[in-house]
């Protein structure tokens, strides 16, 4: 295990962003409120995109909040240092809370609550490529040095927040519950407006056409890339090196085709098929996985 990581109940976490005390507090003591909205993702799956969508929906299409307050204050990542203690005192209603936590170590007080979960999933091949670049530019992850190493760790779950497969299977057990909605990064790309309307419906928010247009405009890749409240250029230097790779990198579907060799792709498909063989839900990327 890299000395950049430590382990909480069998899952790795970056030492620079999560302490074991914080993780235990989140799991055992943090009190979920019924009006909380959880933005849950495996890393690099559309987390920050969803923060922008949820923030501007909360303000009925008015972009001021998104343009003046950093995303980590609008929808904090609960597992990061000191955040759960801070959120505990927040009088914001509803609280928008972001998390990469796997289901099995999510907060106990979530069980039986009416808090809503929006779970965003991305083609794991693109997730892995995005993670490869993030690991190079941020201090939180070990530099994988090569795509081979990156894929090996990604597919074995030997990385922060654990296995993509376990994450997806764990959270998707909530499918069918009224307070759970899932969609894919690819859905957002294909039909952003339709996705925003679905999310509003799930949240019980009624936005008129003009407000929906505003959401769609402000959460475009171009606008987010230029917004300092989103692109992480406001973080103190030393956390992310935007010269190595910008956080808002490419924002496209299928970038793995520009990165994987034939052998890497076959290896990926083999593991994917084995891990997902009993999984019933269909995803947009299924057709690109060779059986």
* Identified binder of ligand PPS from the candidate list 45, 184, 264, 265, rule CB under 6 A: 45
Cα 76 to Cα 86: distance, rounded to the nearest angstrom: 10
For ligand PPS, the closer CB: 19 or 220: 220
Tell me the two tokens of residue 278: 């009993």
Cα 257 to Cα 255: distance, rounded to the nearest angstrom: 5
The size of the interface with ligand PPS (CB under 6 A), counted in residues, is 21
Question: Does residue 154 interact with ligand PPS by CB under 6 A?
Answer: no
Cα 17 to Cα 8: distance, rounded to the nearest angstrom: 13
- Closest residue to ligand PPS, judged by C-beta, is 251
Contact status, residue 38 vs residue 52, Cβ threshold 8 Å = no
**CA distances (Å), origin 233, targets 177, 203, 226, 241:** 38, 30, 10, 9
Candidates 14-22, 62-70, 175-183, 245-253: pick the segment binding ligand PPS (CB under 6 A): 245-253
Site for ligand PPS in 200-219 (CB under 6 A): 219
Question: Does residue 102 interact with ligand PPS by CB under 6 A?
Answer: no
* Identified binder of ligand PPS from the candidate list 59, 136, 183, 249, rule CB under 6 A: 249
Task: Give min distance, CB of 156 to ligand PPS, in A.
Answer: 19
> Residue 143 has what DSSP assignment?
-
Task: Give min distance, CB of 45 to ligand PPS, in A.
Answer: 5
Question: Does residue 17 interact with ligand PPS by CB under 6 A?
Answer: no
Candidates 18-26, 87-95, 249-257, 269-277: pick the segment binding ligand PPS (CB under 6 A): 249-257
**CA distances (Å), origin 226, targets 6, 97, 159, 189, 217:** 34, 23, 30, 19, 13
Contact status, residue 196 vs residue 216, Cβ threshold 8 Å = yes
Task: Give min distance, CB of 88 to ligand PPS, in A.
Answer: 22
Cα 238 to Cα 142: distance, rounded to the nearest angstrom: 15
Question: Does residue 66 interact with ligand PPS by CB under 6 A?
Answer: no
Quote the distance between the C-alpha of residue 152 and its chain's center: 21
Q: Which helix (H) or strand (E) holds 181?
A: strand 180-184
Cβ density class 56-86: b for 16+ within 10 Å, e for less: bbbeebebeebeeebbbebbbbbbbeebbee
Task: Give min distance, CB of 189 to ligand PPS, in A.
Answer: 7
Question: Does residue 44 interact with ligand PPS by CB under 6 A?
Answer: yes
Question: Does residue 53 interact with ligand PPS by CB under 6 A?
Answer: no
Question: Does residue 141 interact with ligand PPS by CB under 6 A?
Answer: no
Question: Does residue 41 interact with ligand PPS by CB under 6 A?
Answer: yes
> Residue 73 has what DSSP assignment?
H
- Judge whether 149 counts as a catalytic residue: no
Candidates 82-90, 164-172, 247-255, 277-285: pick the segment binding ligand PPS (CB under 6 A): 247-255
The catalytic site residues sit at 100
Residues lying near ligand PPS in the complex (CB under 6 A) are found at 41, 43-49, 126, 130, 133-134, 219-221, 224, 248-251, 255
């Amino acid at each position: 295990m890299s000395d950049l990581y430590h382990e909480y109940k069998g899952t790795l976490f970056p030492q620079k962003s999560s302490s074991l005390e914080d993780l235990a507090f989140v799991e055992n003591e943090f009190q979920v409120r019924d009006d909380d909205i959880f933005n849950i993702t495996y890393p690099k799956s559309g987390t920050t995109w969803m923060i922008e969508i949820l923030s501007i929906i909360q303000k009925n299409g008015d972009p001021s909040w998104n343009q003046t307050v950093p995303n980590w204050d609008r929808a904090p990542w609960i597992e990061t240092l000191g955040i759960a203690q801070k959120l505990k005192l927040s009088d914001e209603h509803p609280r928008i809370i972001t998390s990469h936590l796997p289901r099995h170590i999510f907060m106990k007080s979530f069980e039986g609550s009416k808090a809503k979960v929006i779970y965003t999933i991305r083609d794991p091949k693109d997730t892995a490529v995005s993670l490869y670049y993030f690991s190079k530019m941020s201090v939180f992850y070990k530099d994988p040095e090569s795509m081979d190493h990156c894929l090996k760790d990604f597919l074995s779950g030997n990385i922060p927040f654990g296995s993509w497969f376990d994450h997806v299977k764990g959270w998707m057990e909530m499918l069918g519950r009224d307070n759970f909605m899932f969609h894919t990064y690819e859905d957002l790309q294909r039909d952003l407006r339709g996705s925003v309307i679905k999310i509003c419906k799930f949240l019980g928010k009624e936005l008129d056409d003009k407000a929906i247009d505003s959401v769609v405009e402000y959460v475009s890749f171009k606008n987010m890339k230029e917004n300092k409240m989103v692109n992480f250029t406001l973080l103190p230097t030393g956390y992310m090196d935007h010269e190595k790779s910008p956080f808002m990198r490419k924002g496209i579907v299928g970038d793995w085709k520009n990165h994987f060799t034939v052998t890497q792709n076959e290896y990926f498909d083999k593991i994917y098929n084995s891990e997902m063989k009993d999984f019933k839900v269909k995803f947009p990327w299924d057709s690109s996985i060779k059986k």
